[in-house]
Homo-oligomer: A and B are copies of this chain.
């Protein structure tokens, strides 16, 4: 057994070539199934490579191919509620292709954003995915004119860019139809701030399904707003709702707590449905929350595959792609089957 380690401590193709008694070019061709070569030689080289644990240096490879098999993920969603599933999807989609992901949290800070973008470019990322908390705000960093493709997920993209988001209207319709399906007729929508595009899209889909006169109450994205909204409705007292579609799970949680405090049974008296399927919240609510899932992981997958495609030079039609939401049935609406 001869020694085969270079000074760097990592096994290089030269060590392998020496060990196998061939040239580095032969080794390279053997391992990449390129070139002409005796099958026996190829097999022997591969065997020895496995034995001594040779793994090609991706830096060297990337230098030559001008592909780094690396993409950058830019996010300002510090808390990560939306970003995390998206990230998981991206990572899952790309790991099979040998692509790694740089995580760059920019916390709404333009200076930090620039630093991260520069660092990514220096490191020759093959592409960038920008992701955020809402589809109608863009990240505080200029991604136009970069030498690599950029895909936007859950954040506003540049004109002529590829952008992915959830189909808010379809999700809201899903929720509203479900409330009707479990027999509810007096529906209300308690949701977030009206300046969110998502809020408006969901509200108008709700109106379409529930009737134009079905009340919509705008507020903020908090439990206490849900609580407050119920207090307001019940103190007004006229034509109390029997089905409540909430703009997110936190609001739904507040709504359910407020109903319980008033002795209103969920789902016996009133059905409540949320939005986001923030599992740790939705599952712990009593009763567990039926809610709309935006399929963020799938959205991440698609974004990952898209940036990969663009990096490989395949063209893609620019524009906003809305991915369908799905219903997650738990117990806060009654009903059991998913369709």
Interface residues, chain A, CB within 8 Å of chain B?
A: 8-10, 55-60, 62-63, 66, 68-70, 73, 78-81, 84, 87-88, 91, 95, 98, 100-105, 107, 112, 115-116, 118-124, 147, 222-224, 227, 250, 257, 260-261, 279-280, 284, 286
Contacts and interface: CB of A to CB of B under 8 A. Distances in A.
A132 B155 CA distance: 29
B250 A284 contact: yes
Contacts of A147: 9-10
Contacts of A107: 88
B59 A124 contact: yes
A257 to B, nearest CB: 7
B98 A119 contact: yes
A105 B88 contact: yes
B105 A87 contact: yes
Copies in the complex: 2
A78 B83 CA distance: 12
A19 B40 CA distance: 51
B224 A284 contact: yes
B60 A63 contact: yes
Contact of A88 (B66, B78, B81, B286): B78
A59 B56 contact: no
Contact of A103 (B91, B280, B286): B91
Contacts of A68: 59
A284 B55 contact: no
A286 to B, nearest CB: 7
